[in-house]
Structure 1
């Protein structure tokens, strides 16, 4: 199977279906991406708080690509199997003026840099206090081009993906995105070494990453209207989840859409009636706030453990 490469120079700052692809691949082939951090290299391991004042926001959240996938047509689903994510040996987190869920309460700009122990799989938040963060690297930006013409910011998430900032899409996970343009035009970036659901201050442990994905066109998932994903075992019990999402400027409507999309998945994939599916969501599903800071849209997930289907 061919392995293709997208380099750091192959980046863009908007979702725009007029951007020509940097490579063309066949469905089922593998692509490796070499991505700078979300600051586009403006913050380094040696930076201090002054770097935040000098940030050029127009350069933030670049994505690498796009990749044209032969056979992908509007109405299809692009399956992205996350094969590996490798971080740098450093990262950063910051409170940035005007950014984040509580930006009005944390107006002072503060930068924290991290040393990432990739072999041990953790980073010290405060070694003296014994506060250690496990590393679960992923790409915050994973998306395909929108059908609408024009340039769309990489800051918010969309129905086609984008800045979904969903910490569960780690190595071993599979992401499903609705295709709106011929070739799909997949791009990714915004490497994170670790993040909590919601990314409430607006940054995770931001880091450059090298990521490898397998991109496959699916013709049999017409219900994929927003990002869906399947996780590897993520709990002590070895649980596996399937997740649907809802996306809307109104958080209630985003939540309703996440549940509605799970009902549709269960109806079509698991042969449940919609009433049965609704009840199953109520007793076994978990709602998660995956993305709550990149306005105007909220991304809410409905996660269902796959063990409920084990015979």
Structure 2
């Protein structure tokens, strides 16, 4: 087994099987990626909300790589063991006009900068969402973008997810997790990026705690997993958590989801004194969206679950 590294500058802005690999590795090798945040360095610790209007969206969600894994062939599966993810000392969350589940209700740009307190040796840390109200967010960093090149020729945006991975934005694929990706081209051509220090399931406002990351993965070719046709993953064990949950009930699953988030925004304002836009961003970085009821038609029940442990004043 060998250990390799991919630099920040070794990045690209599309999933495209014609992009030459920056690295060739053997199956079972370990690779460390040094990744910028999803803004590709356009947001800095000194930025204000005015920077959001100047964002070049064509530069967002770059990924580092691709890495060619020897022996990977179409029909195989690439096993990605996430060994370590370390965030930077800072991060950002934003409401971007036109993005997010409640984009029509939050049309104005808003930017929140975070100071991230991370203990690399312990693999743990936290960030204060609101020091005065004693709301703290436990850090569980992960890479939102992990994928392999598609078999179809052409350049495909890094913004959405695909059956080969991409912007899966799944917070459970953190250190200790394993991701399985279906291979469609020789060498798999694996890339990674979009570091998050913390995120709730759903990422409802369109951003998490975005941050540069250093992430180490082990890449292994599997020949015996034909059932992996989309990204599969195995999660690490997590401690039990108590939640406060709001729900949305509607025959339209999107409207039920919007209602669940809207009700949580109202709860956070009433019970914790948060402004609506702050409550909305808190939903994105800490709240989990879950499908609670999908069989008793005509209505769906969607829940927005907020972990009670983040409200440290209640301890």
TM-score of the superposed pair, with normalisation by structure 1: 0.76
Shift of the alpha carbon at 1:130?
Answer: 0.8
In structure 1, the residue corresponding to 2:58 is in which secondary structure? helix
Match of 1:231 among 227, 230, 235: 235
In structure 2, how many angstroms separate the alpha carbons of the residues matched to 1:234 and 1:288? 17
Aligned to 1:121: 125
How far off its partner does 1:251 sit? 7.7
Partner of residue 164 from structure 1, selected from 163, 168, 174: 168
Match of 2:108 in 1: 108
Question: Which of residues 136, 142, 150 in structure 2 aligns to 1:138?
Answer: 142
The separation in 1 between residues aligned to 2:29 and 2:2, in whole angstroms, is 6
Q: Deviations over 1:42-63 (max 9, x none)?
A: 0001100011010000000000
The structural deviation recorded for 1:15 is: 0.1
Deviations 1:261-299 (A, max 9, x none): xxxxxxxxxxxxxxxxxxxxxxxxxx957xxxxxxxxxx
Counterpart in the other structure of 1:304 = none
Alignment RMSD: 1.6
Provide the C-alpha distance between the structure 1 equivalents of 2:199 and 2:215, rounded to a whole number of angstroms. 17
Structure 1 counterpart of 2:3: 3
Q: CA deviation at 1:235?
A: 2.8
Q: Could you tell me how far apart the structure 1 residues matched to 2:104 and 2:189 are?
A: 37
> What is the rounded CA distance, in whole Å, between the counterparts of 1:75 and 1:198 in structure 2?
30
Going from structure 1 to structure 2, the CA distance change for 1:288 and 1:3 (only over 3 Å counts) comes to: farther
Task: Determine the structure 2 residue equivalent to 1:95.
Answer: 95
Give the 5 Å matches for 1:269-308: 288=290
* Aligned with residue 194 of structure 1, among 191, 194, 198: 198
Whole-Å separation in 2 of the counterparts to 1:141 and 1:102: 23
Of stretches 66-75 and 115-124 in structure 1, the one that deviates more from structure 2 is: 115-124
- Partners of 1:100 and 1:72 in 2: CA distance: 36
The 5-angstrom pairing of residues 31-70 of structure 1 reads 31-70=31-70
Post-superposition offset of 1:232: 1.1
Aligned mates of 1:214, 1:288 — CA distance in 2? 30
Query: 1: CA distance between counterparts of 2:290 and 2:62?
Result: 26
1:282 aligned residue = none
Number of the residue aligned with 2:272: none
Q: 1:161-212, CA deviations, whole angstroms, 9 ceiling, x for partnerless residues?
A: 0000000001000000000001000000000000000101000000000000
Q: Kindly report structure 1 stretches of 4+ aligned residues shifted beyond 3 Å.
A: none
Question: Displacement, 1:234?
Answer: 1.3
Structure 2-normalised TM-score? Answer: 0.75
Unaligned runs of 5+ in 1: 238-249, 253-286, 290-311
Deviations 1:63-91 (A, max 9, x none): 00000000000010000000000000000
CA deviation after TM superposition for structure 1 residue 236, in Å: 2.9
| Secondary structure, counterpart of 2:189 in structure 1 | strand
